[in-house]
Amino acid sequence: MVTLILPRLVDVSAASRRSASVFERNVAALKPVYWLLLLSGFVEPLLYLLSIGVGVGALVGDLPLPGGRLVSYAEFVAPAMLASSAMTGAISETTFNFFGKMKYMKLYDGVIATPVRPFEIAVGELGWAMLRGSAYSAAFLGVMVALELTSVTRALTALPAAVLVGFAFGALGMAISTLMRSWQDFDLMASAQFTLFLFSGTFVPAQAYPTVLHWLVEITPLYRSVHLIRGLALGGDGWLWLLDVLYLLAMMAAGLLVASRRMARLLYK
């Protein structure tokens, strides 16, 4: 029994080290201008929060949560901006940057000449993307606490959820990137991303939409992300957040599987 289990443990350990080497390569190639990109990605959702959440919120008033508790419009919008920030940070890293490394820099053609395999590349790149997504999430939660839109305890609870959202969207973005033929294809992805941003319970409850659109909205990944983080940051819906977690875990697993298989097909052709 020990001889059967030990090789598997060794394989997992070796794969983890190879994935970590992909992550370390990104750290070594980091340039100072990258921090300006990080800042720009954080500022956008913050501006939405201040302009719409606080500005428009002064006209809208309070909104009810599913449990019936009333919250200010800024409190309602802030968790959605956090989910959108986590999504944007992860997708930005695993789409444009990942696609450039794979198709134009031909970086991974050299990487697979080493013992590193496509799945390990995907895991390493996803981990690197989450460094960016986690930075966005932590900074945005700090703003929420400073503006008294959530408590410190709830912010600490919401941070792992935001990281999970980033992992799920990062894996999805990586899978989509392997299907892209040129930079122009990313216009379609940007349109889909912006549509999700507008119609995922971000600015109004999903119940405000017509019935058909309401059910369609509730099965989208960003809505599940918003629902999860809003429930943790503000409270409500009991244990339904477990469904959101399972949804996002399944999305992450599917994204990694598709990305690694597509990479293997492209790199070993």
pLDDT at residue 4, rounded to an integer: 37
Contact yes or no for 175/259 (Cβ under 8 A)? yes
More confident residue, 2 or 16: 16
First to last CA, the chain: 38
pTM over 0.85: yes
Angle between helices 73-92 and 118-146 in degrees, nearest 10: 150
pLDDT the model gives residue 34: 60
pLDDT per residue over 42-63, tens digit each? 677 778 788 887 777 777 878 8
Tell me what pLDDT residue 244 has: 93
Q: Does residue 35 carry a pLDDT above 80?
A: no
Mean pLDDT of the chain: 83
Q: What percent of the chain has pLDDT over 70?
A: 88
Q: What pLDDT does residue 266 have?
A: 86
- Only one residue has tokens 């697993």, namely 253
